[in-house]
Amino acid sequence: MTKSDKLTARNFPTAQEEASQATTFDTNPPDAYRLAFADPDFLVRPELRPVRMQLELLKPELIQQELDIQSTVVIFGSARISDRESAQASLDAARAAGDTVALQRAERRLLMSGFYEEARRFASLITEQTRDHQHPLYVVTGGGPGIMEAGNRGAHEVGGRSIGLNIVLPHEQRPNQYITPELCFRFHYFALRKMHFLMRSVALAAFPGGFGTLDELFETLTLIQTGKCRRRPILLFGKDFWSRLIDFDLLLDTGMISPGDEQLFHYVETAEEAWALLKQEYDIGVPASAAPSQE
């Protein structure tokens, strides 16, 4: 180390250096002797919940800052909706087996697979159309199969990065293969995961889904309705599904929501229709770098 280097040298060893130091015990030091931040058993104690929640908020935040991810589009939807190819294969197998119940289920699965394909195309449009902008948009999903896979897949297929916010669940939750590896996160707390869905989002696209999709959709609607977060486009793919599932007119007629609250979202049917709404909302045009020369 030169004399000039000493002007900016660290005054203390890093936590990593300290943690790697050999202990006075050959193996298995007693719990009390372990450094607190290097002791997994200590970190998972119930009393450390506030610390774990802070860490779970901070880790994805720092990584996304380091990768300059500022604006995202969230894609929600069922983990049980498959791609068209898989759905068609299930239908062919059910027909061959002559199983009436399986055939009905497979026909419904093929019908719903259209939403997978729209989510996939929507993610491709977002990624491809904004990659050269000053603030590109990144797709973020729940990281699992179904509609979540479709979102990450669409971004991946056009050479873009996308985010997956996975969570520990007993079933229906495993990282899909299309998430950008350095952006594949895993959460213990639903609340912190939902915060990360919205912290950078400029829009939310909700495809048909179950309790989890409804939870995330209504939390976002409530935050916007109450002014706790800024208004942003909420796109409900499939008017027939959503209007049958939720009677917004009843909520209006009974005074459960105020006139105008029904305008917090838009029904859309196609990826192109959804993308057109985003382009209009944020005046997304051709980036300056890609515009034809005026000379």
Which H or E run contains 194?
helix 190-199
- Confidence band of 33 (pLDDT split at 50, 70, 90): confident
Residue 262: the pLDDT is 94
CB 60 within 8 A of CB 165: yes
φ, ψ of residue 258 in degrees (nearest 5): -90, 155
pLDDT score of 290: 53
pLDDT exceeding 90 applies to what percent of the chain?
A: 79
DSSP, collapsed to helix, strand or coil, labels residue 134 as: coil
> Which residue in this structure is represented by tokens 């190819």?
85
Q: Over the chain, what is the mean pLDDT?
A: 92
How far, CA to CA in Å, does 260 sit from each of 27, 65, 104? 66, 36, 40
Q: Where does the pLDDT of residue 34 fall: very low under 50, low under 70, confident under 90, or very high at 90 and above?
A: confident
Per-residue confidence (pLDDT) for residue 142, from 0 to 100: 97
Per-residue pLDDT tens digits for 111-130: 999 999 999 999 999 999 99
C-beta of residue 192 within 8 angstroms of C-beta of residue 56 = yes
pLDDT tens profile 271-290: 999 999 999 999 998 665 55
Phi (first) and psi of residue 235, to 5 degrees:
-110, 120
pLDDT tens, position by position, 141-199: 999 999 999 999 999 999 999 999 999 988 767 899 999 999 999 999 999 999 999 99
User: How remote is the C-alpha of 105 from its chain's centroid?
Assistant: 28
Q: What is the pTM of this model?
A: 0.90
Q: 187 with 163: CB under 8 angstroms?
A: no
pLDDT at 294 (0 to 100): 47
Higher-pLDDT residue of 13, 205: 205
The phi and psi torsions of 261 (rounded to 5 degrees) equal -65, -25
Q: Is 83 exposed, middle or buried (0-12, 13-18, 19+ CB in 10 A)?
A: middle
**Cβ proximity of 277 and 266 under 8 Å:** yes
How far is 247 from 286, CA to CA, in rounded Å?
39
